[in-house]
């Protein structure tokens, strides 16, 4: 049996030690919570005109209504930024932008959506508790200061985070012995695929669905459904918005002169831009192959190889081929399997070549699922590194734009989560026990 902090409860003298552990962890959580809300309050008090992305998005919707091409910045009123979403989203976002309500009140709306995201996030094999819900909500709001960037910019990544939380709630359900219970999980896979279509570079996250504790056939069905969910908005855009789709391609590839586009040189805290920075400093600024080779090496060394090695280590005692061993282990260890699946989603998202500051909000959504299962020391480390440190950086007025603070703290949290999985995978399978 364990208490609400995840520290094992024992009888005898060690009970005092556990009690003391509860106190310091509770104090740390209270301090981190204060920092997060103080930071948000500090931002709200600034006399600055935030919300540039929500104005761009709604200006694009208005341009579409007026019969103008929204992918040309000259047709967007009051902004110099370009619209980068698929053409089908122009009609999908129209109800959100109607009456200028969202532009004028996006801060309150976004805060509500973020709070709902934390509430929707599921546990893994645990009954819901107030402590877990509060921790998830804290991490969603404060993790890597991603939500702060969403709120400041008014970015529609808030929709991606909310839909991701809903998809995870549908996907991380106890496995059943027959396919009739997969309807909700199929809906979750389709929803996750739809989320990935908002920003195409994040589509590798869908591969993590293979790590669900289901039969191979059922997993492949879910991956197919997720792929269809990803492709459908693209196909609809091609078929029903052909001219706008051509403009969208020009806009994101830099084919429209005099406006911003998605380029490798664009500042963002990703491993790709870290590789670009290193290559620039050693004097090979024009060597794109070297940049991508270094990026692939960093993604493999920091994320993919440790993740793969941890899985290989977990299944090493099973017999048969590698796929068969993996499938058997996943089904035999459902809680650990769902945990490693979300961790794989986290890692694949973190490896994205275009990881903007606001995208760390969605990354925090994945992390929030995992932190509640951590032991006290690991939980304290994740809250300190992933929430307190970047929040303090923000409060002190040091800009993180164009730097690598966010990706650094996200990587450290990934390693803590992965090391905990490797150290105690059996702990995750103890029914009714809180890690």
* Distance between CA atoms of residues 336 and 423, nearest Å: 12
> What is the pTM assigned to this prediction?
0.89
With contact defined as beta carbons under 8 Å apart, do 258 and 85 qualify? no
Angle (CA) 409 401 294, round 5°:
65
**Measured distance CA(203)–CA(279) in Å, rounded:** 27
From first to last of its 435 residues, the chain has per-residue pLDDT tens of: 233 233 333 333 333 334 455 788 889 999 999 999 998 888 877 766 788 899 999 999 999 999 999 999 999 987 888 898 999 999 999 998 888 888 888 999 999 999 999 999 988 877 778 889 999 999 999 999 999 999 988 999 999 999 999 999 999 987 665 555 688 999 999 999 999 999 999 999 999 999 999 999 999 999 999 999 999 999 999 999 999 999 999 888 888 887 776 665 566 788 998 888 888 888 776 778 898 999 999 999 999 999 999 999 888 877 778 888 999 999 988 888 999 999 999 999 999 998 889 999 999 999 999 998 898 899 999 999 999 999 998 888 776 666 788 999 999 999 999 998 877 656 655 543 333
Which ranges in 200-321 belong to alpha helices (H)? 216-240, 242-253, 271-281, 288-299, 305-315
């Amino acid at each position: 049996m364990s208490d609400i902090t995840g520290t094992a409860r024992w009888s005898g003298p060690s009970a005092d030690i556990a009690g003391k552990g509860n106190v310091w962890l509770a104090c740390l959580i209270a301090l981190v919570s204060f920092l997060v809300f103080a930071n948000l309050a500090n931002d709200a008090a600034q006399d600055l005109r935030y919300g540039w992305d929500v104005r761009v998005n709604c200006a694009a919707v208005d341009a579409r209504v007026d019969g103008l091409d929204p992918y040309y910045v000259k047709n967007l009123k009051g902004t110099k930024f370009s619209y980068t979403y698929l053409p089908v989203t122009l009609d999908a976002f129209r109800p959100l932008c109607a009456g200028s309500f969202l532009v004028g009140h996006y801060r309150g709306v976004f805060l509500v959506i973020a709070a709902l995201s934390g509430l929707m996030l599921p546990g893994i094999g645990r009954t819901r508790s107030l402590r877990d819900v509060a921790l998830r909500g804290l991490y969603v709001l404060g993790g890597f200061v991603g939500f702060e960037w969403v709120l400041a910019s008014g970015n529609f990544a808030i929709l991606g985070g909310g839909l991701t939380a809903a998809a995870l709630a549908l996907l991380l359900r106890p496995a059943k012995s027959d396919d009739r219970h997969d309807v909700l999980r199929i809906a979750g896979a389709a929803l996750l695929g739809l989320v990935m279509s908002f920003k195409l570079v994040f589509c590798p996250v869908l591969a993590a669905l293979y790590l669900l504790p289901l039969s191979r056939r059922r997993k492949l069905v879910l991956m197919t459904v997720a792929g269809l969910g990803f492709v459908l908005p693209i196909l609809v855009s091609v078929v029903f918005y052909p001219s706008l789709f051509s403009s969208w391609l020009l806009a994101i590839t830099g084919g429209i002169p005099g406006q911003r586009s998605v380029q490798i040189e664009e500042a963002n805290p990703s491993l790709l831009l870290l590789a670009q920075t290193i290559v620039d400093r050693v004097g090979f600024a024009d060597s794109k192959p070297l940049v991508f080779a270094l990026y692939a090496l960093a993604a493999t060394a920091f994320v993919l190889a440790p993740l793969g090695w941890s899985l290989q280590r977990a299944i090493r005692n099973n017999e048969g081929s590698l796929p068969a061993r993996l499938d058997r282990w996943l089904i035999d260890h459902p809680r650990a399997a769902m945990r490693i699946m979300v961790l794989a989603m986290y890692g694949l998202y973190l490896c994205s070549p275009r990881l903007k500051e606001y995208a760390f909000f969605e990354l925090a959504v994945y992390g929030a699922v995992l932190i509640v299962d951590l032991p006290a020391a690991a939980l304290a480390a994740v809250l300190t590194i992933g929430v307190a440190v970047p929040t303090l950086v923000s409060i002190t007025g040091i800009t993180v734009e164009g730097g690598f603070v966010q990706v650094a703290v996200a990587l450290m949290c990934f390693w803590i989560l992965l090391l905990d999985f490797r150290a105690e995978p059996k702990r995750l399978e103890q029914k009714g026990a809180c890690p």
